[in-house]
Structure 1
Amino acid sequence: MTSRPRADDAHPYLRAANAGVRHHTRALSTPAPPRPADRAHLDVLHAHLTAVHQLLDHLAETTRPPHPAAGRHLATAHTRLWQATSEVHAAFHLLPSTTPTQASECQPERLPEGPPVLTICQRHLTAGHIVRRKTTPTDLRAHTTTCVR
């Protein structure tokens, strides 16, 4: 007797990411006093968003030839998720630094000084290059894909 494979077995790393999201969601619902987001949390959230963004990109590309309408919807989700990722990146730069050595400006030409100050910028710029190659300027005009902070 064979069991039916789970839907998320095609992308097993998503199970770990989902477990992390569930953990943070449970932590938010505890009776402890609410804490505002900090740079470390936004860096982790940005990493999750860019990973899902890459997955949506892959799914849209592989779904579009046999199912064009579904592929278009996935491509739209891809673009909207990029917008959310850009906003998380912008929020990261508006939060105060936890250490005096962390600059609040994006400086992707410099080597990483450690997490999270430049890792988020480099990840964002790398994802932005991919987005620009696969998305029309009209789709992207509502948001910026460069570090301007």
Structure 2
Amino acid sequence: MEQLNENQQEAEASEVAKLAQAIEKLANVLDRRLAELTAALQDTRRNQAIQAFQRTKAGSKPNMELVEDWIRKIGRTCEGRILKLLAEKHPLQFTRAEIAAQLRYSKDSGPFKQAISTLKKHQLIAENDEGRLTLHENLLT
């Protein structure tokens, strides 16, 4: 009886070891795939940033008529003031703190944060990987 119990334990230990090896192999495969996907995402973001810069560099200007239409829709509230500032200063990019200071808002205030969120949601402003904001390409000619 004891021999059977020991054999059964050895068989179970062997199965556990095989499962552990299989899990380790799978984890290694997933790690490699994640690294590949991360690199591809970084390349895509880099390419998008280069394309956006090239469009801006090529002389893209704000479509002020469209910008003014949006300001009329959203009002001359925080959102409208941010949009107007970025259109007037295009192609410059600003941090949230810089925009808040120019418009005399606190960058940590709820209305300011909500305004940035709303403008991004409607693709009126864009934020790069460094956290700098500019007019969205949809508003450029």
Q: What's the TM-score once normalised by structure 2's chain length?
A: 0.27
Instruction: Give the structure with the higher percent strand.
Output: 2
Q: Which is helix-richer, 1 or 2?
A: 2
Give TM-score, length-normalised by structure 1. Answer: 0.26
Larger radius of gyration: 2
